[in-house]
Chain A
């Protein structure tokens, strides 16, 4: 790769071994993809995971004196103080979250602890070159805003934050953003939950090609697109999609395929959504808890839950994972009081895939997110998956 003087200086250790390691990794990635050069990034987001590899890598960079040139927003681990109030946190889990927070503070990250930075705090403009990790974020950045990022790992995005550059390849280039397969949506897309199922099932038919959806509602809410992207990137590796008439690089079908004819086409029917739903969800019966906010809920979603439980008592505990900003809004707007009176709560700055939820292991929950169910398999949690409204009804009854 051709490096600038400054990039070469970073690689040669002028800014310390941490920055040199970050640049070395980026050069290796660039060479794997035959990138000619690096390009400056204006925003970054790191999918902090508070797991061993995450901590090992950020501490290694910090020990090498690395400081971010482009401060990244970061994903949630868990809210230690909150969970210490409702359960027991093992000393090793307390130690790792404290070290994670400290390491990201030292490296100069913006400590948002939120997995939807694209809705608050880190919103790019069209065409902006960025480096985002987090599976719900990369499709939103690329597809909804038309900004540009590759599907970064947490570690490669952190390298970009430290060096301020990323190798120029993949989705950063015009020609790689062309739609590759037409997805005719015959299924009725009526609510946000249908976007979850559509997102999860599409890669089963399209593989890893860039899908171009046609036949979709023309003014979807951010929550619908958040769901679509999160599931596309969980059911498959889809970090860029187009919706004809909705997303900025797909004003028309021709636009989405950059003037070429679609070489392939698949159809998605109501039957496809139904079969996907049946394959994803637990059979049902008695449930032990309800868990929402994968990705973090917006204030609109919190409001939906609050209105459904207002003045009622939940049969099982219910948590909504969300950002500190949404938590503050929920307090001001009275939703938190309503939730708590019903036996629910907000879990701020927290991800479902964290050891703080140990008291739910081996139990069955209800959620609206296939992604939530997929990643908690390691934690022996099973889930009935339903629309948000149905999930809340199930939590009120305690069974489905």
Chain B
């Protein structure tokens, strides 16, 4: 049986996108991802060796200097290995600007229950404009 749950969120970067959800407990730097494959190459990162391509990526914070988020996201986009949407807890200016410029949907202020309801591999739709995240369990 398909279980569907809807959670509220706040728009940072406009748009609507969906894909399998992937949770990162570590902060995220898009530059330390191989643009050809979308695989995380950052040493000791919880997603090291895993691909973010086509995923809805959930992470606590962005990290990295003022150019690397945009440079990283742009290269992923050019290679078609970018995440479809971003769900973040604490948005920083660098990442916010990069997501807006790269036209990647991004939201924050997600209902707490989302973080217990959704798990890696669930199908998630992010509608930044409406301020909703829809989770469909596997």
Give A contacts to B, CB under 8 Å.
25, 28-29, 31-33, 47-49, 51-54, 56-57, 75, 133-135, 138, 150-157, 159, 170, 207-208, 233-234, 236-237, 371, 375, 377-378
Contacts and interface: CB of A to CB of B under 8 A. Distances in A.
Given A28-B100, A52-B71, 5 more contacts: A48-B67, A53-B73, A53-B102, A152-B94, A153-B67
Interface string B62-85: 111111111101110010000000
A25 B101 contact: yes
B11 interface: yes
B120 to A, nearest CB: 23
B67 A154 contact: yes
A56 B94 contact: no
Given A52-B71, A378-B32, A152 B100 contact: no
Which of B11, B12, B31, B94 is most buried by chain A, counting CB atoms within 10 A of its CB?
B94
A320 to B, nearest CB: 20
Nearest to B73: A53
Contacts of B39: none
B47 to A, nearest CB: 15
Contact of A236 (B63, B67, B98): B63
A53 B70 contact: yes
B71 A377 contact: no
Contact of B70 (A138, A154, A237, A375): A154
A60 B41 CA distance: 30
Contacts of B62: 237
B96 interface: yes
A146 B117 CA distance: 43
Contacts of B113: none
Contacts, number: 113
Contacts of A237: 27, 61-63, 92, 94
Interface in B1-26: 11-14
Given A135-B66, A208-B90, A53 B75 contact: yes
14 contacts: A28-B13, A31-B11, A32-B91, A47-B65, A49-B71, A52-B74, A75-B67, A134-B65, A138-B66, A152-B66, A157-B66, A207-B61, A234-B65, A377-B43
A361 to B, nearest CB: 14
B41 A56 contact: no
A57 B91 CA distance: 22
B116 interface: no
B42 interface: yes
A347 B68 CA distance: 22
Given A25-B97, A25-B101, A377-B41, A151 B92 contact: yes
A153 B41 contact: no
Interface string B93-114: 1111110111000000000000
A44 B103 CA distance: 24
A230 to B, nearest CB: 9
Given A32-B91, A133-B66, A208 B98 contact: no
A310 B97 CA distance: 47
Given A377-B32, A377-B41, A377-B42, A152 B68 contact: no
B22 to A, nearest CB: 21
Given A47-B66, A52-B78, A54-B70, A151 B32 contact: no
B100 A54 contact: no
A152 B67 contact: no
B70 A135 contact: no
A77 to B, nearest CB: 11
Given A236-B63, A237-B63, A377-B43, A153 B78 contact: no
Contact of A25 (B32, B64, B92, B100): B100
A188 B64 CA distance: 27
A284 to B, nearest CB: 17
Nearest to B41: A377
Contacts of A377: 32, 41-43
Nearest to A133: B66
A51 B67 contact: yes
Given A52-B78, A53-B74, A375 B66 contact: no
Contact of B61 (A25, A33, A153, A208): A208
B100 A49 contact: no
Given A135-B65, A208-B61, A153 B98 contact: yes
A170 B97 CA distance: 14
Nearest to B106: A32
Contacts of A208: 61, 90, 92
List 8 tightest A-B contacts by C-beta distance, closest first: A53-B74, A135-B65, A133-B66, A156-B97, A49-B67, A153-B97, A32-B12, A47-B66
Contact of A153 (B27, B31, B63, B69): B69
B65 A29 contact: no
Interface in B32-64: 32, 41-43, 61-64
